[in-house]
Homo-oligomer: A and B are copies of this chain.
Amino acid sequence: MAEPATVDIDPSTRLALYRSMVRARYFEQRAYDLFMEGIVKGTTHLGLGQEAVAAGFAEAMNPTDMTFCTYRGHNHTLLRGAPMTPLMGELAGRDVGICGGKGGSMHLTDVSKGAMGSYAIVGAHLPIAAGAAWAAQVRQSGQVSVCFFGDGATNIGAFHEAVNFAAVWKLPVVFVCENNLYMEYTPISAVIPVPHPAADRAASYGLESIIIDGNDADVVYDMATRTIERARSGGGPALVEALTYRHKGHSRADPGKYRPDEEVAAWMARDPIVLYRERLTAAGFDPTLLDEIEQAGLAEIDATTMEIRNAPPPPPETMMTQLWADGGSQWRN
């Protein structure tokens, strides 16, 4: 694992990173509560504990850059700038939902913020992210695509096809594997013959092996900046493996009992937000500033929760809209 970032990150960026992680944390905790309350329906795959990855990358991206993520994509979508109420509204299946309630928890998308979708078939979005990067290359738009996925996704064919394709075409895409050690309930170590699901595959595509501490926001931000800027300047793709851990189970009410207690405890002790607050405090940041960030985050999620509780469901007629670009779903005359 790389050493803790020794790079200079300016104070406002560091505060932004802290603010991002805090907002994501409140969002996910509330999503869990609302799921248990029956307001969020279906399923939720929370990013609790993995906030530093989402925060570090989002902070390093330009507004026109593009994020592709998975069903575990709330953090990523929120931190690219999607507003909170439409996100929670989508989880709750409300009309105000960012996708009008059609997508659900696994499919948050806010194209206006470069959050190009949350994909729920493991691995499928890697070629799509590469394709968006290809368009950036053809159009010389200067955009970079950043694509998040889990450790388990590295064993599906689409991973291999996408990373090879991106490497040989030198596409501006950064593939980020959030290695949280588990797929749903099975540890990744049980299904790969190498220690590192992403980094140990990088050489197949002529790429550097990169492993970072995904619970250290500074480290993530630093690596994000470097890989994104290299991609932007024509240096081709990168494959980053960020080691992290989910605080909750895989989805819904899964208590995650298949994980050894000591392992859970060790990672809980490395909570990215607690660690970062300690680091900022040690670096001389004013604790009241940090408190304010937390209070603002709580106020934001409380306001969102109130709005969602009273928000109406999507009107029935929306069921038949937006299959096609003409707004409708007619397939015949």
Q: Which of chain B's residues has its CB closest to A157's CB?
A: B157
One complex includes copies of this chain to the number of 2
CA distance A156 to B191 in the complex (A): 20
Q: Which of chain B's residues has its CB closest to A160's CB?
A: B160
Q: How far is the CB of A201 from chain B (nearest CB, A)?
A: 4
Verify B167–A156 contact, CB threshold 8 A: no
Verify A168–B192 contact, CB threshold 8 A: yes
Binds B, one of A58-66, A202-210, A262-270: A202-210
Confirm or deny: A200 has a beta carbon within 8 angstroms of a beta carbon on chain B: yes
* Chain A, 191-234, CB within 8 A of any chain B CB: 191-194, 200-201, 203-207
Residues in B whose Cβ lies below 8 Å from that of A160 = 155-157, 159-161
Q: How far is the CB of A66 from chain B (nearest CB, A)?
A: 22
* Chain A, 159-177, CB within 8 A of any chain B CB: 159-161, 164, 167-168
Which of B161, B168, B190, B200 contacts A204, CB < 8 Å?
Answer: B200
Which of B159, B194, B205, B206 contacts A205, CB < 8 Å?
Answer: B194
CA distance A164 to B164 in the complex (A): 16
Q: How far is the CB of A143 from chain B (nearest CB, A)?
A: 22
Q: How far is the CB of A246 from chain B (nearest CB, A)?
A: 23
Interface secondary structure of A, over-half rule: helix
Q: Which of chain B's residues has its CB closest to A195's CB?
A: B206
CA distance A6 to B207 in the complex (A): 36
Residues in B whose Cβ lies below 8 Å from that of A207 = 193
Residues in B whose Cβ lies below 8 Å from that of A194 = 203-206
Residues in B whose Cβ lies below 8 Å from that of A168 = 190-193
Verify A161–B155 contact, CB threshold 8 A: yes
CA distance A194 to B160 in the complex (A): 14
Confirm or deny: A158 has a beta carbon within 8 angstroms of a beta carbon on chain B: yes
Q: How far is the CB of A195 from chain B (nearest CB, A)?
A: 9
Q: How far is the CB of A239 from chain B (nearest CB, A)?
A: 12
Seed contacts A155-B164, A159-B160; 13 additional CB < 8 Å A-B pairs: A155-B161, A156-B161, A160-B160, A160-B161, A164-B191, A168-B190, A193-B206, A193-B207, A194-B204, A194-B205, A200-B204, A201-B204, A203-B203
Which residues does A use to contact B, with CB under 8 Å? Answer: 155-161, 164, 167-168, 190-194, 200-201, 203-207
Q: What are 17 A-B interface contacts by the 8 Å CB criterion? A: A155-B160, A155-B161, A155-B164, A156-B157, A156-B161, A157-B158, A157-B159, A160-B160, A164-B191, A168-B190, A168-B193, A193-B205, A194-B203, A194-B205, A194-B206, A200-B203, A203-B203
Give the 6 A-B residue pairs with the shortest CB-CB distance, closest first.
Answer: A157-B157, A160-B160, A193-B206, A167-B193, A201-B204, A204-B204
